[in-house]
Amino acid sequence: MLITSPHLDAAFAALADPTRRAIVARLALGEATVMELAQPFDMSQPAISKHLKVLEIAGLISRSRDAQRRPCRLEPQVLADASGWLDHYRDVWERNFRRLDTLLDEMKRQEKKSSVPRRRAKKK
């Protein structure tokens, strides 16, 4: 697993912005034009176009030409690569937490053994 790559760096940098994450979420529902993507935001069409350019450079979206329309669509491969990278580290942390749980359980068992008073045999 690569620790870093220019593609992942660009994808995570692009997704760091909440407007771009919202655009990606919208495009997950299907392709849309720049004007459709700009509708829910209180910003100009050129500002949205700048966000789209960042997403496009990162490989997260693509734009095509359909007569007068320029629909944008999500490109799933970069998201899949980012998800794979995150999954790898999720697995690492889960293994670490399982080892920690095992150690804590062992420490609790040892504590119980050492704190249980021993019964003395009754003298007859």
- At 64-110, the pLDDT tens digits run 887 777 899 999 999 898 899 899 989 999 999 999 999 999 999 98
Tokens read off for 37: 């993507």
Supply the Cα-derived Rg of the chain in whole angstroms. 27
pTM: 0.72
Angle at 121 between CA 115 and CA 122, to 5 degrees: 130
- At 12-27, the pLDDT tens digits run 999 999 999 999 999 9
Could you identify the residue written with the tokens 């690492």?
Answer: 92
Phi/psi for 73 (5° steps) reads -140, 155
Q: What is the domain class of 7-76 according to CATH?
A: mainly alpha
